[in-house]
Amino acid sequence: MSTEELATMKADKTVDARGTSCPGPLLAAKKAIGEIQKGQVMEVLSADEGTRRDIPKWCKKKGFEYLGTVEESGFFKIFLRK
Amino acid sequence: MANKKLTIALFSGSVDKLTAAGVILGGAAAEDMDVEIFVLLQAAFAFKKENAMTNDRVAEITDKKDDFLASLKRLNTPHWTEAFKTAKEMTNVNIHICGFAGKVWHGEKLDDFIDLADDICGIGEYMTAAEESDINLFI
């Protein structure tokens, strides 16, 4: 997905994990994924560089679709589809 | 597909290594791994009820202990007992206290240890779990 597409993407659920460090954002994503339906989009906000790398790998292992990451000022918006 | 299995021989009773174990447990929880933790010698000290929250010993870079502990606070890192508890809530984690280790620290009963502990066991159970696991760590 292109950066432009991601920038305008409306997520069905937003997980703001900017206050935690690794593995906090990943665990927050794990908890929240149970609250959305298959096909819905979730965005994870994280200030943690490790999480940016972890979420795509986690998606692959768990069978979710990693859509991409938008870099904001001081944090990342990481998008995935259940 | 069966869950992957992680076994940890948790020897250290130091807050730096226990914190690392907590981070690894978080990763295991995110991936729905089945985890068996064997609390060995010094870790059994940290698992004693009276020690778990007060233990601020570090095993390495000991001259920077204060900086390390301050950084954990600054980064909102949960205390290792919290990290272990979260992992237990999110995936299948069993925590076994080595019977010998318990006795070394004057803990004879399960009740002498924090609630995270599930049972007291012998080393044979560790060998079996390690044989059957996909990942086996000594911390």
Amino acid at A45: L
Catalytic annotation, pick one of A22, A36, A41, A70: A22
Interface pTM (ipTM) of the complex? 0.85
Size of interface A-B (CB pairs under 8 A): 31
User: What are the pLDDT tens digits along chain B (139 aa)?
Assistant: 789 999 999 999 999 999 999 999 999 999 999 999 999 999 999 999 999 999 889 999 999 999 999 999 999 999 999 999 999 999 999 999 999 999 999 999 999 999 999 999 999 999 999 999 999 999 9
Q: Rounded to whole angstroms, how far apart are CA atoms A51 and B81? A: 22
| Topology (CATH) of A3-81 | Translation Initiation Factor IF3 (3.30.110)
Q: Which domains does chain B have, with CATH numbers?
A: 5-138 (3.40.1260.10)
Q: Edge to edge, what strands does the sheet with B93-98 contain? A: B119-121, B93-98, B34-39, B5-10, B135-138
Q: Does residue A10 sit in helix, strand or coil?
A: coil
Helices (H) and strands (E) in chain B, counts: 6, 5
Report CB contact under 8 Å: A61, B31.
yes
Domain boundaries, chain A: 3-81
